[in-house]
Amino acid sequence: MSNTNVIVAGPRGKMGSEALRMIEKEEQFSLVACIDRKNAGLKVQDVEGLPAFDAPIYDDVEQCFQDVQADVLIDLTTPEFGYKHTRLALEYGIRPVVGTTGFTKDQLAELEDLAEKKELGVVIAPNFALGAVLMMQFSKWAAKYFPDVEIIERHHDQKLDAPSGTAVKTAELIQEARESKQQGHPDEKETLEGARGADLDGMKIHSVRLPGLIAHQEVVFGSNGQTLTLKHDSYHRESFMSGVKLAVEHVLKLDVLVYGLENLLE
Ligand SMILES: NC(=O)C1=CN([C@@H]2O[C@H](COP(=O)(O)OP(=O)(O)OC[C@H]3O[C@@H](n4cnc5c(N)ncnc54)[C@H](O)[C@@H]3O)[C@@H](O)[C@H]2O)C=CC1
Ligand SMILES: O=C(O)C1=N[C@H](C(=O)O)C[C@H](O)C1
């Protein structure tokens, strides 16, 4: 099996540190550098709590991409920096695997154009957990028969973006499967602003943020005399790592941007 040189952006984060542990276990992946806001000039192994890699840490992204021979950038940071890192990686011929959520539609379109121009693969996956990907696919299927649907996503209270990337992607998939539709009573009024949640093509999305949660979503379909609920829970961030591994393996063979892990599954 050939070796893949990987850079991780956000190594001290909840997802980034889990990605380092995954790389440690996979002998076909080599960590060649990390991008972090802190600890520039140190090695990963010098940072308390991180695995014993002797890969250097950079806070200057361009310097990192110039110094280090890398095949793939795994970005697990914030919407603002994740977008910048992804653009720069493509400029330097490095294929991005992006778990960071909260990119706008315009940013996704720009990255798609850049990937096509550079003929480089990019994987942007709002959720790397296989169960969540299946929940999204089942939701698309169900929406054909149950067009009235609301999404309730629940996450830990350190999350920056709302709604979650998974909820947005789920709503977009449902949008592809059903006729556009305004749900609820046509005369309904919110007596407290936001009571009905966010709206995507008439679908309501409700975001819960509480300590103790990790990543959870329910997609509730309603019809005459019945409801159908599709539910997924990530209880540990390890749940995302088989998807990150799959994305790193696939991105090497791609020359376009792929949005959603479902596009890599058989
Ligand atoms: N696609 C998926 O399956 C999943 C995606 N996520 C997404 O991944 C991202 C990270 O999530 P968490 O690890 O929970 O957040 P976190 O807050 O624990 O970690 C983010 C890390 O990024 C670092 N960071 C911020 N700005 C940076 C910069 N300019 N350069 C380098 N590092 C920088 C922070 O210092 C922090 O360590 C979020 O956008 C989240 O929504 C989270 C879980 C699963
Ligand atoms: O921030 C998180 O934690 C998660 N973010 C992703 C999202 O926005 O959907 C994936 C998962 O839900 C965890």
Q: Identify whether 236 is a catalytic site residue.
A: no
The Å distance, Cα 165 to ligand 2 centre, comes to: 6
Q: Torsion-angle region of residue 10: left (phi > 0), alpha (psi -120 to 50) or beta?
A: left
Residue 47 in contact with residue 39, Cβ under 8 Å?
yes
pLDDT score, position 160: 96
The answer, yes or no, to whether ipTM is higher than 0.95 is yes
Distance in angstroms (rounded) separating the CA atoms of residues 57 and 61 = 10
Q: Which two tokens stand for residue 180?
A: 């556009």
Q: Which two tokens stand for residue 16?
A: 């980034």
Mutate which of 35, 80, 101, 264 for ligand 1? The one with the most ligand atoms within 8 Å of its CB, which is 101
- The verdict on pTM exceeding 0.90 is yes
Q: Which amino acid is at 23?
A: I
Q: Which residue's CA is the closest to the ligand 2 atom numbered 3? A: 215
Residues of the chain below pLDDT 50: none
pLDDT score, position 171: 98
Other Cβ atoms closer than 10 A to 58: 22
Q: What is the pLDDT of residues 20-55, one digit of tens each?
A: 999 999 999 999 999 999 999 999 999 999 999 999
Ligand having the closest approach to the CA of 14? 1
C-alpha distances in Å from residue 133, one per residue of 25, 166, 184 = 24, 9, 27
pLDDT score, position 2: 85
Ligand having the closest approach to the CA of 7? 1
Other Cβ atoms closer than 10 A to 231: 12
Domains and CATH numbers, the chain: 4-124+238-264 (3.40.50.720), 130-235 (3.30.360.10)
